[in-house]
Structure 1
Amino acid sequence: MLYHVIVSFGKDKQYQFRFSQAELSESSPEEARRWFDKEFSELKCEPSNPVGKVLIIDKILNIARYGGEQRFIDGKMWATQFARYTALALGRDTIRVDVEAFNIGY
């Protein structure tokens, strides 16, 4: 199976990542969740839910937003890790992270 993650910051600002099942098997969903927890804290993301409960989807969207597009332009390692862990955490073969609209589509 091939996994495809698209991170979009608006029209003509899309970053695409593809991973094989073998590439993803080097990590686990638990490792992905720990990475998102760490990044959420380090980037000082604000929870989008006023109640304070933060779902993995909220973490992914906020980390992409707070991390910024420049990390996807310059930081290949960080951006690739973000996309890999997104695929692992959500377990879907095609994921679109739309930062501008603040939503995730499958």
Structure 2
Amino acid sequence: MQKLINVMLDKGVEFSFHVPEGTPLAHDVARAWLDKQFTTLDCEPLRASGKVLTADKILVVTQAAGAALLADAQWSAEYVAAVSAALGKPMIRVDVPAMAITY
């Protein structure tokens, strides 16, 4: 089964990434990568409570990364591996304008 991550950004910018076959990234490694990106990109929690759910972290990291980082081959490969491992779904849609992730 082919795995795919689609990312929608503002102004109709869209990226589509195929998740490579093989050994997936470990869940804790994926979360650590997302945590690092959340800090590096100066992301803010979506919820007033300060809780940061995995899906929220993916949304704000994707938003902060924007088209520039998503177009970077090395960064996007790490992003795809982390998002795929963190969510564990074969088809993922990250919709930044709607602030939603669907499977």
1:38-96 Cα shifts (integer Å, max 9, x gaps): 110111100000000100001000001111121123x1111121122111100000000
Q: Are positions 1:5 and 2:5 aligned together?
A: yes
Q: Decide which of 82, 85, 96 is 1:85's aligned counterpart.
A: 82
Unaligned runs of 5+ in 1: none
1:48 is aligned, of 36, 46, 49, to: 46
* TM-score, normalised relative to structure 1: 0.88
TM-score by length of 2: 0.91
**What RMSD over aligned residues (CA atoms) do the two structures have, in Å?**
1.4
Moved more, 89-98 or 6-15: 6-15
Aligned residue-pair number? 103
Identity of aligned pairs, percent?
Answer: 34
Partner of 2:18: 18
| 2:35 aligned residue | 37
Structure 2's unaligned 5+ residue stretches are: none
Q: Deviations over 1:7-64 (max 9, x none)?
A: 1114642111112441xx1521111000001110111100000000100001000001
CA distance in 1, matches of 2:52, 2:69: 23
Contact 2:24 2:85 in 1 (8 A): no
Superposition misfits of 4+ residues, deviation over 3 angstroms = none
